[in-house]
Homo-oligomer: A and B are copies of this chain.
Amino acid sequence: MDFIKLPEEIEKRSMEIISPHLDGLNLNEEETKVYSRIIHAAGDVEYAPIIKIHSAAISAAKSAISAGKNIFVDVEMVRTGINKRALKKFGGEVFCKVADEDTKNLAAAEKITRSMAAMRIFDRELDGSIVAVGNAPTALFEVLRLAREKNIRPAVIVGVPVGFVGAADSKAELANQNEIPFITVEGTKGGSPIAVAAINAILYMLDKSRGK
């Protein structure tokens, strides 16, 4: 059968196909990498005009990773997808509390989602760290509340929750603040692979070997 089977060739060809869809967006080299990896992960060039990257987001993420900061995520699929070997080279780890017993208890007591409860439990751990929300708008709303009410300041928020209930609003709130650098996507689209794509694109800027 005649199809490309070498991983490096698949990625190279994919990036060539995506490239023309980024024309006119005035992206620098690093932004191009994040955009390309997101579009590659979604198989959807219509992400190009809806991705929003705060001007300080990529440098803030690189600094945080290089300093060994951790990544706090809303769901296990995001933890699974992030290249943890690449991250570990700098000392950081990925944490997800959505399935923890104390998270379940808090969620039941407060009648909120588990991913929201998990962010509330992380609390001050989020200070200076990277937050990645790939699924739950409620988790992103909670991180923004912690910032507003408790002055908790992640180094960067990758906020790309997905869906028709709260996702667009939570991402608009993220994009409308200027205190915390962010990577997001307008509207209802998003998801775990989008969060993973953004994080791994930045990890691979720092670790060309990709954790190998």
Contacts and interface: CB of A to CB of B under 8 A. Distances in A.
Given A5-B138, A43-B191, A192-B192, 5 more contacts: A3-B137, A5-B112, A6-B111, A14-B164, A76-B80
Given A1-B145, A163-B14, A165-B14, A77 B192 contact: yes
A162 B162 CA distance: 17
Given A76-B80, A164-B17, A165-B10, A189 B42 contact: yes
Instruction: Among A17, A79, A188, find the residue whose CB has the most chain B CB atoms closer than 10 A.
Output: A188
A193 B110 CA distance: 28
Interface residues on A, range: 35 or more
A182 interface: no
A14 B188 CA distance: 11
Given A3-B137, A80-B76, A44 B10 contact: no
A3 B138 contact: yes
Nearest to A76: B80
Contacts of A167: 43
B162 A113 contact: no
